[in-house]
Every structure is written in C-alpha cells, then in structure tokens.
Amino acid sequence: MSKKIELNYKIKQAKAYIKKFYEDNNGNVYVSYSGGKDSTVLLHIARQLYPNIKAVFSNTTNENDEVIKFVKNTANVDWVYPTYKGKPVNFIWAMEHYGFPFISKEVSQKVNEAKNTHSEKLRNKRLYGDEKGNGKLPKVHQWLIDEKFNLSNKCCDLLKKRPLLKYEAKTGLKPLVALMKSESMLRTQLAMNGKEFVKKGYPFLRTGWDEDDIWEYAKRYNIRFAECYYGEEAKKRTGCEFCAFGILKNRNKLDEVKYKKPKLYRKIMNTKNNGVTYSEALEKILKRADYASGY
C-alpha cells in the first residue's frame, strides 16, 4: 500500500472514530490542544467534521513562547490555568512542593514513592519488584531515594491535567486527545487500559497514526505549525521548556532556554526543593550517570 493511500485510509478511520465519539457523547466534546503539531492536525481533522468544536489549551506556565503565540492565533480556544486550593500556581511552585522532574515520569514517580511512602509493601515493590519482578526502580537510580531533594512526576498532573479535569467537570465536555503510540509506554498503557479510556477519545492511537502521517497531512493541507518546529533549531516535540525528563538522553535539552531566557533560567536553576537547588540536583544526576556509564 502506498503512503498516500495509507494516509487516506487513516484519515478516513480517524474521522469515523471522531464522529462516533462525538455522537456517543451527544456533541459534548472538545479537542485537547497543546499547540503542538499532533494536536494541531487533530483539531484540523475534527473541524472538518465539526467546524465549531471547541479547543482547550492548558497553559502549564512552562510553555514555549512560539507555541503560546501559535495558540493565540488559533480560533475558538479556551485557556485553562493551574491552581491549588483556588490560588494560581506555576512550575516553580510545583518543584518546591513536590520535587524536580528528572530522568523520566516513571523513574521520578518510583523514586518519590520509594522515598516517601508509608506503605512497606509499596516501598519493597519499588526496591525489589513484585512477585513477577514488575514495578522495580532500576538499581542505577536507587541512590536517589537517599538524596535530600525529591523527584516527582506530579508537575504534569498539577499544571496540565487538573485544569483540564476541572474544565471537564464544569462544562461536561469530554476530550479528544492526539496521543500516538510513539509516545511513552506509560501514557499509551493508561490510554489503552486505564480509567481514562472511557472518558477520552484517542483517534490517532486507535487508528495507527505515526510521526510521518502528521507531517504528510500537514503538507497535504498546507498546515504551518508553530515556528519552533522549523529551522536549524527545529524541535521534534515541544513540551514544557524547563522540564528535565529525558535529560540523560539529551544533555543539551535546556541549552536553548538558557540563552533565550537567561533571567528565567537562573530563577529556575536556583529553585530549591528541601534546600537543594534544581541546578545542584541536576549536576549530581548527570555526574552519577557519567560514572555509571564509565565516562
């Protein structure tokens, strides 16, 4: 099957999925819109079927400026913002209260649970795994349990997911999400098997879309994404600017914001969790990784 025919089929399948999800929920549907390329294509497809469908952008306070600009120029978008007990919060607040987003969501969650849980069963699971060996924090990262600073995956929940959940509770709308299989195994498993499955629609995940399909669709329909996707410094994905998930695979992940936003960069790097700065914790993690790999 040629790529053109294959994409035609996937577009048809995605539209059928969206239509069924829309009708099953009596039209009470919105598009979860990050301003990234995947959700931009999803919104374009959805609005071919339903021109007035709402898009909702969750501003994490840690967004790329070019994405913010792009979203502002998109029609019919509701913006939501993070709060805690009714008060506005941001990325710095999340790190101070919960911990730093290092390595990956899975590692950060397991470190935090092993470090702070009152359940001996859960702690043992994170240290040694269950009877099948599942759920164990890799030994290479277990030293983090004894560190003064916390790691956490809760920033995404606080800054992005909760504002959307509040929006859904207030409006009664359910989201269409542009998740694909190329994303993290944890996100994919939750989407396919978790409680969110019945509450959310995943057109791309359910119809086999991949990165090439997104770019081919954009080319076909003359869609221009946010400018951060183009040029010499083009990003494959956007995501939160100062987040250090994936830092061991991409040591230069924070270099761009270091030079583009030096004042904010210094503020972020000086943010403390349990008396340890973001910069100090990150340096320690990178040095341990180098030591473990033999460098």
Q: What is the pLDDT along the chain (295 residues), one digit of tens a residue?
A: 567 779 999 999 999 999 999 999 999 999 999 999 999 999 999 999 999 999 999 999 999 999 999 999 999 999 999 999 999 999 999 999 999 999 999 999 999 999 999 999 999 999 999 999 899 999 999 999 999 999 999 999 999 999 999 999 999 999 999 998 866 455 455 545 555 555 899 999 999 999 999 999 999 999 999 999 997 665 666 678 899 999 999 898 898 889 999 999 999 999 999 999 999 999 999 999 987 765 4
Q: What is the pTM of this model?
A: 0.87
**Torsion sign, CA atoms 221, 225, 227, 230:** negative
Q: Residue 295 has what pLDDT?
A: 46
Measured distance CA(230)–CA(246) in Å, rounded: 21
Q: Residue 196 has what pLDDT?
A: 52
Of 69, 62, 61, 141, nearest in space to 106 by CA: 141
Q: Residue 189 has what pLDDT?
A: 53
Of 35, 98, 38, nearest in space to 64 by CA: 35
Q: Residue 198 has what pLDDT?
A: 59
Measured distance CA(63)–CA(91) in Å, rounded: 10
Q: Residue 290 has what pLDDT?
A: 86
Distance (Å) of CA 224 to CA 31, 50, 75, 288: 19, 21, 15, 41
CB distance 107 to 100 below 8 Å = no
Q: Residue 144 has what pLDDT?
A: 97
HSE-up of residue 259 (Cα within 13 Å, Cβ side):
5
Which helix H or strand E contains 66, and what residues bound it?
Answer: helix 65-72
Q: Is 101 exposed, middle or buried (0-12, 13-18, 19+ CB in 10 A)?
A: buried
**Torsion sign, CA atoms 128, 133, 136, 140:** positive
